[in-house]
Structure 1
Amino acid sequence: MLTSLLTDGGVRLIVRESGPAGGPAAVLVHGWAQSGEAWTYAPQDPALRLHALDLRGHGESDTPDDGYRDSATWAGDLRTVLDHTGPAVLVGWSYGGLVIADYLRFHGTSRVRGLVLVDAITELGRDRPGGATGRLTREALPDALSEDPGVAVPAMHRFFTQLAPGLPGGLNQRLLGTALRVSPRVREELFRRDLDNADVLRAFDRPALVVHGTRDEVVDPSAGEYAAATIPGAELRRYEDVGHMPFLERPERFAAELAAFVTEVCR
């Protein structure tokens, strides 16, 4: 089911919702140049109430002119979703981890049951340990941000066909198609930030799980190790021989572990 929410600034956000009303709730925040649909390609535990957000400028949500460099704007967007869902576990994949850090900086943890970071960045900028990137990211940028399709499309193709080894070709094409729907300006704006979130991670006072593929060449595994070491009490689970999308590369394991974590912290 698609639900439309309106932020205080009048931006329409689309949330893909599934599972029973009143079930243990999780808000799923996708990565750069993707949408909430990415989460739906994998099996999901039917007992969970899942809310997969399309970030502004992505998927079916509105594409406003501004807000992409502003942590307070991202925090407000996620607050709009939590106003709708009530307290929930926040699950951030890739760039989604940074959006969650934005939310925590401005709104704290009162509505947060727990946190799951999935091959996520929590910082952005040169030499930020929480934003360490891998080979694929370094090779794709800045070409993938270009307005020239002759430059951007080949770079995006290489990126999205290699980020998760072993995915079916049809699924890789769907990920690429989603990415190409995101405007070059939005794709670029998301990287025009410099954020040190060590203080946010150290202040997190809820259960936290960090999941990271050992073969991730988009977000370096050291970024996950940094988050797990900085968040008090966080647990790190490494997915051996997995790239940037554990929820698609090891879907049964990921679904079971997510369900166990969400159910436990929502009791």
Structure 2
Amino acid sequence: MLHGRTALVTGAGRGIGRAIAERLAADGALVAVHYARDDAAAKDTVATIEAAGGRAFPVRAELGTDGDLDALFAGLDDGLRAHDAGPELDILVNNAGISPQGGPEDTAPETYDRVFAVNVRALFFLTQRALPRLRDGGRIINITTGATRIALPEKIAYAMSKGAVEVFTRTLAQHLGPRGITVNNVAPGIIDTDMNADWLRGDPDAWAHAAAYSAFNDVGRPEDVAAAVAFLARDDARWVTGTTLDATGGSRL
């Protein structure tokens, strides 16, 4: 379905990003697996993709820091050349993000600034830099959150940053429509990832509480989000743009 196409997935060493990278590769895309610091996790993601017959390569860059995009695109171009691919992209998945705890009374300015630097500023300028190489008919998919629909005061800065991303998505979809490029969000709910392991897996009561958010009385898996991304990346989704695909499992309907 995605054979001959190239995808860049940010934050793809672990969790949801890894599942997205694996799914797009399984569907035939050459996948650039971006990550921030964990070399072992990124290499394992690439190795898993290759063992399944897919193609992928790692790209290291810590978003939200000086020189982040120069490092990312230099690594991207090195990886593309190594795979005899041109510089063009077909699919950009902006998944990388941070999600610190903090309510209205106790979110520190430095935490707020860091959240917006990674979740908004880096995403904006990474996308800006990718646009000249994104082929007409391409796909941009931004991973947001169910917390833009469901009020979670304990994650207010994170939710606000993702709200900004959703405005960016809608506006960019209008702007890129003439090129046939679709721009959409996928909004996960509570997902069983390593990031959530400490509080989610270690306490049956916590798992039950999290599951109760969903209409299915269950906790989502990274593969559930990856499936939504894979749909938006395909030709079948050519008439879907500027919207948010809710992948929260019907949380708090």
Normalised by the shorter chain, which TM-score bucket? Answer: 0.3 to 0.5
* TM-score after normalising by structure 1: 0.39
The structure where helix makes up a greater share of residues is: 2
